[in-house]
Chain A
Amino acid sequence: MTITQIAALIAVMAVVTFSTRALPFLLFGRGGKPPKVVLYLGRFLPPAVIAMLIVYCYRSVSFTAVSGWAPAFIAGAAVVSLHLWKKNDMLSIVGGTILYMVLVQVVF
């Protein structure tokens, strides 16, 4: 990628991210009340979207060989178990990632 392409991608991400943060202030900053349906979606859409993003992360697993799915599912299970047990973000993320790296590099 050229420097221009990298910069353009970063700029798009920056502008879109800022827009998601600024939109509520633009729409309702002058005292208008958000419609109930917006508040409802704001309350229930985020958990659904996180589930969606997890499926997105697993989109490339393949079931033709064990090495195509086992590392991602084993490490994923480890992250969830670690987090249920210790409730420590960093431990779960770093621990799960190191396990995944060991699995793809050494085991499978």
Chain B
Amino acid sequence: MDRKTLTAAFPHTIPVLMGYLSIGVVFGWMMSAAGFAPVWSAVMSVSIYAGSGQYLGVELLSSAAPLADAAFLTLIINFRHLVYGLSMLEKFQGMGWRRAYMIFSLTDETYALLSGVQAPDGVDEKRFYLAIAVLDHLYWIAGSILGAAAGSMIAIDTEGIDFAMTALFLVIAVEQWRANTCHAPVLLGAAGTLACLLAFGPDNGRFLIPALAILVAGLLLMRPRLERLETSPEGGEIP
């Protein structure tokens, strides 16, 4: 990758640099606190490359979760990526061999950057996108390794550090709450999952399977209403 493209891409990625370094450090630290060598944090950040997915991964690894449970939970947590792909179909067209990497590295933050930026004059658009994707990935890997190294060297009581995953989801939920006028899906998600938790118990998170079915069914039932709200000029809120 040439210097010119990198120089053009770097300023756009500074917010992600701050975010990924810190969230990556927390991830690496959680891994070390759970007793895994730093090399595993690095392997995960290179090969999985998903913030919330890897936070969940720490939990799956520390509880030695069965592979099928791990697959299901990872699927649920990353379900939103399906949406990102849908809006990047055109952007990634004609990227050749780079397309596979662009798809692999389509995290929330990279998606947000790619949706908003434009390559400056004289810089090839496709290379510019690739530079952004690669830089973000490197920040994430660097953060994880830093955190894992710090966690394995600094001896403090880390009990409770796993709460970072809960905090991350709460932050995402607050942002979504603010971005959307209609909160019915959130309330459905909370109520449906809570009902399944009470009915099936917390073991292995398997109550999420019926919960997901309820959410999809509930959303399909609400479809006429939600789509009307979405297209009505006033926006409007479900009472």
Contacts and interface: CB of A to CB of B under 8 A. Distances in A.
A77 to B, nearest CB: 9
Given A46-B79, A52-B190, A25 B92 contact: yes
A65 interface: no
Given A23-B85, A47-B176, A13 B189 contact: no
Interface residues of B, number: 90
Contacts of A66: none
B32 interface: no
A42 B86 contact: yes
Contacts of B89: 24-25, 28-29
B193 interface: yes
Contact of B160 (A8, A34, A59, A97): A97
16 contacts: A20-B81, A21-B85, A24-B86, A25-B99, A45-B216, A47-B183, A48-B185, A49-B80, A51-B173, A52-B215, A57-B166, A59-B197, A80-B174, A93-B167, A96-B170, A97-B167
B14 interface: no
Interface of A: 1, 5-14, 16-18, 20-25, 28-29, 34, 37-60, 71-72, 75-76, 79-80, 83-84, 89-90, 92-94, 96-97, 100-101, 103-105
A55 B190 contact: yes
B47 interface: yes
Instruction: Say what secondary structure dominates the interface of chain B.
Output: helix
B49 A93 contact: no
A90 B168 CA distance: 9
A79 B215 CA distance: 25
A6 B106 CA distance: 25
B170 A76 contact: yes
Interface stretch (B3-11, B19-27, B114-122, B123-131): B19-27
A64 to B, nearest CB: 14
Contact of A93 (B23, B74, B157): B23
Interface string B28-67: 0000000010001001100111101110010011001101
Contacts of B26: 93-94, 97
A34 B163 contact: no
Contact of A9 (B19, B61, B172, B227): B61
Contacts of B112: none
B199 interface: no
A96 B159 contact: no
B84 A50 contact: no
B67 A101 contact: no
B106 A45 contact: no
